Structure 1
């Protein structure tokens, strides 16, 4: 089975943005791009309606991947664009499609009037169930958004990519997540900003309000832990500039703040075998809903 970058496409603005991002990623990786459109069969009462029969519905759904593929081939002529039409529940079909992909890309929608993004039930279910890395892309993202601004303040491909941001928990660092982030930074020829947020244990908080020296010592220990974890990776990827950011308080907030100047944010998700509920973890959940850059969720053991 050939490796692909696979994108879930439903014709919405956010899924078209995801397809555009996925095409650029496919070009960076030298892989084919597969557009997957899931067709949910029309319920029998609707199928009998004179204006929306099953054949009419299927005709319109088949147009979505075909027209999207035509546009992507024009804009990305070096990318081999494939299409696949599936029937069934979107979350189930996309989880199955992800098994044969290097990467699955989905869209996320802006929340009107709120500083965040909406990861729908399908997206959350897919992220929580697949072991393939999933990237969530916000609606309206353009190619230039991944690049740094030129002297006039306009993002430009000529200025290179913005940094990749990795949210890292040094208490439980995982090589799969770290490797993914370094690879993405290396492909883009950009820096990797590794963000570590940490909270003080409650027994410290109540007993050290005035002990600045102890607080500083804990901060130094956290920085040292981060440097130690990243040491072997710096040697493995000598061409990637690594910027370490270690700060107290909410890890999610620090990652979200860093996302404003990022081309991609990378976070992890621990694989859980329970069939019940959606398990993303509080930090990953918050980053998915509030980061302003595309977010890659990498499953790990």
Structure 2
């Protein structure tokens, strides 16, 4: 299958840090598996908007940014030899550039923190802002802690299964030839889960028929959701969670479950926004 340049791309935020290099490799693999273009995005910003102490300083900063982007593009060409690769150099904040790019992207890929972040910092400000405001799924790529498990996991609200989330999970499992664990998250402390379980398995059956090649495991859980998903991440290569709290205008930009997993998940985490466009069929 040929890759079309006008398709929604996989966008990777790159700043030259080890975390962004790891994200670039992961994003290149995602683009290759999906037959999608790959866009390497770098943002540069002169820190003082009102005055330039040194004449020509902003131009120097832009040239430095171009050098960082060119480095990322060279790496991307090696990682994604079969995908069209484009660069995007943006003046402004990295978070703003990536949120803007997410409106026309299939997925945005980023490391948990960028250049300048200290080792103990689990999630950087750019990553947090992107997850909070992106219009498409965001993959936060971590260095694997455990051996490869050949498993994709998704946690879903037992009373509100989003077809886009399930479609993303099944497609990721199919592309990776991995098993899929679907966790039905009931309200904590629920004593009778039978009704939720019936609705859950009925909705899931549609996707199992569509993806017969995917080996599906299911579990219904009433324990605290961060605990359940954190434990599942120990046995997964990819964990998919929705940032559903964004449906409530009064809620924080990132819900508590998502916040906990951004800090603690030992594998790559894909966060889906409240309303995700259907994944491109492959």
Match of 2:221 in 1: 247
Check if 1:72 corresponds to 2:76.
Answer: yes
**Residue deviations 1:139-174, cap 9 Å, x none?**
x459xx8844xxxxxxxxxxxxx1110011112211
Shift of 1:291: 1.0
**Using the alignment, how far apart are the partners of 1:230 and 1:111 within structure 2?**
42
Check if 1:194 corresponds to 2:197.
Answer: no
Match of 2:41 in 1: 36
**Using the alignment, how far apart are the partners of 2:147 and 2:83 within structure 1?**
19
**TM-score, scaled relative to structure 2:** 0.83
Match of 2:22 in 1: 17
**Using the alignment, how far apart are the partners of 2:93 and 2:74 within structure 1?**
26
Relative to structure 2, which stretch is displaced further, 103-112 or 33-42? Answer: 103-112
**Using the alignment, how far apart are the partners of 2:89 and 2:24 within structure 1?**
15
**Using the alignment, how far apart are the partners of 2:203 and 2:49 within structure 1?**
57
**TM-score, scaled relative to structure 1:** 0.78
**Using the alignment, how far apart are the partners of 2:232 and 2:48 within structure 1?**
45
Structure whose alpha-carbon radius of gyration is higher: 1
Check if 1:234 corresponds to 2:208.
Answer: yes
Shift of 1:278: 4.3
Match of 1:205 in 2: none
Shift of 1:225: 4.1
Check if 1:91 corresponds to 2:95.
Answer: yes
Q: Does the 8 Å contact 1:226/1:244 carry over to 2? A: no
User: Residues 1-301 of structure 1 correspond to what in structure 2 (within 5 A)?
Assistant: 1-43=6-48, 47-49=52-54, 53-109=57-113, 112=119, 118-138=122-142, 140=143, 147-148=148-149, 162-198=150-186, 199-200=188-189, 218-220=192-194, 222-270=196-244, 271-272=246-247, 274=249, 278-301=252-275
Relative to structure 2, which stretch is displaced further, 254-263 or 277-286? Answer: 277-286
Number of corresponding residues: 265
What's the Cα RMSD here?
Answer: 2.7
Unpaired runs of 5+ in structure 2? 1-5, 276-282
